[in-house]
Amino acid sequence: MAVLTEKNLIQIRRDLHAMPELALNEFRTAAYLEKVITGFNQQYLTIKHVPDLPTALLVRVAGSAPQRTLGYRTDIDALPVSEKTGLPFASKNLA
C-alpha cells in the first residue's frame, strides 16, 4: 500500500470491523494491522512487539526533524455481540 487514500482507509476500517476479537485474543487483528503498517514507507517507522502482551504493537513514527514526541493508544478488542446489519463487512467472529 504505497499511498493511503480515503478508499484504503475505508477498506481497512471495514476489514477490522469484520474480524472482532476479545481482549488479549486479537491475534488476527494484530497480524492484519502489522501487515498494513509494514506496507507503509518504512523510512520513519519502527515496529516493536511486547513479549508480555502478544497482541500489542508499538509503532514509532519519527519525523524528519522531530522536536516533540506524541503518543497515541488504541484498543483493538471487541465486545461479544451479534451484528445483524446485513452489511458485507459486518462482524463475523463473535456470536
Mean pLDDT of 73-91: 88
In a domain, 53, yes or no: yes
Find, among 54, 50, 5, the residue nearest to 29 by Cα: 54
Domain of residue 57, residue span: 6-61
Grade residue 43 by pLDDT with cuts at 50, 70 and 90.
confident
Whole-angstrom distance, CA of residue 72 vs CA of residue 88: 30
In a domain, 30, yes or no: yes
pLDDT at 42: 85
49, 57 contact by CB (below 8 A): yes
pTM, full prediction: 0.84
pLDDT at 75: 92
Domain count, the chain: 1
Q: Does residue 52 carry a pLDDT above 80?
A: yes
Segments of 1-95 assigned E as strands: 45-50, 53-61
